[in-house]
Structure formats: C-alpha cells, structure tokens
Amino acid sequence: MKFKEKQPPRTYYCGINDQIEIKDCAEIQLNPEEQVTFIAGSSEYDVTRKSWGYYATPSLNSRLVSFGFRGCLASNRNTSRCYILLMEVGKEKEFQAYLDSENIEVVSWLDKGYLGS
C-alpha cells in the first residue's frame, strides 16, 4: 500500500449551485488483496483491491449492515447520474435532507437479499 497525504487538502465545490465543499485529503494505492478500513464513529467501511478491480463495499446485505450502514442505488433527477450511496444507520433525516437538496432519489435499497429475486 502507498499512502500520500495532501497538505493542504485540495478543496473543491459540488452539488446544486456548488454549495458543498469537499476536501480531498489523501491518495491510497492498494495492491491486489489489500484492504483499507474507514472508521466513522463506531461504524466501519472496507474497500478491498483485487487483481480484477475492487470490492467497493462489504457485502451489502450482511457485513455492511453489521457495520452500521445501508447501501442504495440512487439517481440524480436532473442529470440521470447514478450513485451507490451508503447511509449511516441513525442518520436517516440527514440523508433524506441531502437527497432532497440535491434532487436525488433512491432507486433501490441494496440490503434486502438477492436483487434478482
């Protein structure tokens, strides 16, 4: 793994009317079969590098839920861009306020078992 902290972080704005400030703080380069874990309070989120790409999330209907997150497929109503979003359990009101402010809709929650059934 290679880690490069950005000092100072690169700052940019996004969202409707560019009102959301994002700070790009670091770059992490993983080799195949390496993982990083992000911590948010008592919740965790893993990203694992494979030879073919990435496991971008833990299993959506098991480990991710046990870590305190729910995954969803979401779509921006203005641009039709699609996103995988991870909502921290207990932050439902903040999540909905964000969706409303950015004109994003949840297409499907991804933690309800096999999606093909």
- Compute, in degrees rounded to 10, the torsion defined by CA atoms 83, 25, 29, 71: -30
CA-based R_g, the chain, Å: 16
* Distances from the Cα of 68 to the Cα of 21, 26, 63, 78, 91, angstroms: 25, 24, 9, 30, 10
- Compute, in degrees rounded to 10, the torsion defined by CA atoms 96, 25, 38, 50: 110
Looking at residue 117, what is its pLDDT?
Answer: 41
DSSP reduced 3-state for 22: strand
Kindly list the averaged pLDDT for each block of 10 residues, start to end, along the chain of length 117.
96 92 96 94 90 93 90 95 94 96 95 59
Looking at residue 42, what is its pLDDT?
Answer: 82
Enter the pTM of the model. Answer: 0.84
Question: Residue ranges per domain, the chain?
Answer: 31-109
CB burial of 5-17 (b: ≥16 within 10 Å; e: otherwise) equals eeeeeeeeeeeee
Unique residue bearing structure tokens 């996004």: 14
**Is cis: bond before 8, omega within 30 of 0?**
yes
Looking at residue 30, what is its pLDDT?
Answer: 97
Unique residue bearing structure tokens 């902290």: 5
